[in-house]
Amino acid sequence: MAKTSIHFVPVKSGSEIHNLREKELDYVIKELTPNNEHWVDPRYEGQTLADIRKEIADRYQTHVGQKMQAKAAPIREAVIVIKPDTTMADLQLLAKQLEKEFGIKCIQLHIHRDEGFSKDNPDPSKLNLHAHFVADWTHANGTSLRLTPQDTSKMQTIGAECLKMERGSSSNVKHLNAVQYKEKKALENISSLRKLVYKSFLSQNAKNALYKKIDQLVEDLKADPMNIQLQQQVEQLTEKVTQLQADIERRKQQREQDQKTISALREENAQLRRNNEKNASFNENLRKENRDLKRKAYPERYVLPSFINVDATRIYKDKQGQCHIAMMFTGGSKEYSEKMSNEDFMAFKNGDLTKEEVIAKYYKPLIEGYIRREFSRPEKRSAALSLIENTIFDYMKLYASSTFVPSSNGDNNPRKRRNYDDIDDINEEERKGMAYK
C-alpha cells in the first residue's frame, strides 16, 4: 500500500499560479493537465490568497491591537502524496477532519495528475501524483494555530485513514519539504556544474564568465534559499553548458567536413581553370561557378538579419548618373539613402555582388548600431542573438555577453550619426545639440 504524509509550510507567493497552471512548467505533461481537479471552500469563494491574508491581518489588528508581523504565515500549504484513484471527496473529508481536530480551515484543494518525476523522462506511467492543500492557519481572532508534535503525528494518521493509504513512519529526523529538497539538489548541482565547466572545451574567458554566474547563484541561494527560480536557473545553466559542449564538438566535426568540402571544391575549380584557361567564355563561366560555390559553402556570408527589408531596398542610378542605394528596416517606412560607387553598382548588376553584400558594405555602422542597442537590453538580447545567427553579422555574437561592443569607423562621424537617431538610444535634447555641418 502506498504511503502518504502531510507537512504544512508557509504558502509561496506563486502558489496559485502553480496550482492553477497559469504558468508553463517544463516538468508538466500538458496532455494530462485536463485530468487535474480544483476545489475552493465556499467560505473563500471569489477571493485570492492575497485578499484572504489581508482579511486575516485586519482581524488580527482588531483583536490584538497591533499589526500582524510581515514574517507571519497565516496561510500555509501542504503537498500530499495520493493514489491514482484518490478523489476530491477523499480530500474534502480530510479537510473536514483537520478542521474538526485542529481548527485548520481548508481554502483550496488541487489535485495534480500531470507532473512527471523528471523533465528528462516525462513517462505518463510514472507520474508524481499529489494534491495541494492550502489552509487558513489562524483562529477567529487572526492569531496563528499552535500544533504540538503529538498533533502533527495524529495529523498523519488522519491523513492516511481519509485517503485509504498507509501512514508514513514516525521519525525524529527533520523533514525536508519539496522546496528544501530542491535547494539541496541545486547546491549539489552547482558543485557538479563547476566540474563540468572546468573540463569543458570552452575558452578561458567563457569559463570565467560562467564561474562568475555560478558564484552569484550561490550567493542568491544563500540569501533566498526558498527561491525556486534560482534553483531552476542552476538546472538551466547546467543544461546550457552541456549543450555548449555538444555544440562545440558538433562544430569541430562540421568544420572538418567543411574543410574537406572546400578542398574538393578548390580542386574541382583548379581543374576547371586548367581545362579552360585559354577560352575566355569558359573562364567567365568558371568565375561565376566559383562564386556560386563559395556562396553555397558559406551561405551565412550572404544573409542579412530579418530586420533588414532586403526586398524593399532599392539600388538605382539617378538622372545625373549618380549611383544610390536606399535601404529600409522591416516594418519601417523610412529610407536610409547612401551614394554608391559606380564600380559597386556594376558589380551588383553583373551579379558579382549580391544585394545583401551591398547593404552590408554601405550600412554596416547603422546595422551594428541597431544590434548593439538590442544587446544593451537584457530582455531583448536572446532575440537579437537569434536574429543575427548565421548571417553576415554573426560575428557580433562574440560581444553579446560583453559590456563593450566595438564600434565601426562610421559611428563616430557626426554626419553619419544624424541618420541613426531612431536606431541608437539618443534622446531629443542630445539630438538637438548634435552638430551637423
pLDDT value of position 76: 95
- Asked if residue 267 has pLDDT above 70, the reply is yes
pLDDT for 173 equals 40
Output the pLDDT for position 275: 75
- The mean pLDDT of 85-92, rounded to a whole number, is 94
Contact of 36 with 114, CB cutoff 8 Å: yes
- Amino acid identity, position 296: K
pLDDT of residue 283: 64
Backbone angles phi, psi at 109, to 5 degrees: -130, 135
The alpha helices in 37-148, defined as continuous H runs, are: 49-64, 88-102
Can you give the pLDDT at residue 345? 94
Output the pLDDT for position 398.
77
Instruction: Give the pLDDT mean for 234-249.
Output: 73
DSSP-derived 3-state class of residue 292: helix
Cα–Cα dist 242/245, whole Å: 5
Q: Is the pLDDT of residue 403 over 80?
A: no
pLDDT(252) > 50: yes
Q: Which residue has the higher pLDDT, 169 or 73?
A: 73
Q: Are 290 and 269 in contact (CB under 8 A)?
A: yes
pLDDT per position as a tens digit, 92-146 = 999 999 999 999 999 999 999 988 755 555 565 678 889 999 999 999 999 999 9
Distance CA 402, CA 17 (A): 35
Distance CA 4, CA 333 (A): 64
Supply 36's cell numbers: 487535474
Cell of 340: 554608391
Query: Is 392 a residue whose pLDDT tops 90?
Result: no
Mean pLDDT confidence for 274-298 = 72
323-350 average pLDDT score: 92
Cα(20)–Cα(36) distance, rounded to whole angstroms?
A: 9
What pLDDT is attached to residue 318?
93
Cα 94 to its chain centre, rounded Å, is 39
| pLDDT of residue 234 exceeding 60 | yes
User: Are 76 and 135 contacting, i.e. CB atoms less than 8 angstroms apart?
Assistant: yes
pLDDT in tens, 3-45: 888 989 999 888 899 999 988 887 788 889 999 999 999 999 9
At 170 the pLDDT is 55
pLDDT in tens, 141-181: 999 999 988 998 999 999 999 999 988 765 444 444 544 55
Q: How many CB atoms lie within 10 A of CB 45?
A: 7
Average pLDDT over residues 369-378: 87
The predicted pLDDT at position 408 comes to 47
**What is the grid cell recorded at 433?**
545639440
203 confidence band (pLDDT: 50, 70, 90): confident
Mean pLDDT, the chain, integer:
80
| pLDDT (0 to 100) of residue 78 | 93
Tell me, what's the pLDDT at 75? 95
Choose among 430, 298, 287, 304: nearest CA to 362. 304
